[in-house]
Amino acid sequence: MSTLFAFLHHLAAFTLVSALAVEFVLIRQELTVEPVQACGAGSLPPCAAAAWIG
């Protein structure tokens, strides 16, 4: 069972990092409030992954 949770933990961590990397590449602007709000639902995967990890 702990092997399964270790796998899921790493899957969530890599999902979080890759989703954030994609967002940074797509917005290519400074990280201020406006570009973050423009992402809208695109922020759902990193938020879900962060909640899953935490």
Q: How many domains does the chain have?
A: 1
For residue 48, what pLDDT band results from cuts at 50, 70 and 90?
low
Domain boundaries, position 44? 2-53
pLDDT score at 25: 79
Whether pLDDT at 33 is above 70: no
Rg (the chain; Cα; Å): 13
Contact 20, 45 (CB under 8 A): no
Whether pLDDT at 5 is above 70: yes
Interval 22-51 mean pLDDT: 66
- Give how far Cα 16 sits from Cα of 1, 2, 6, 8, Å: 23, 21, 15, 12
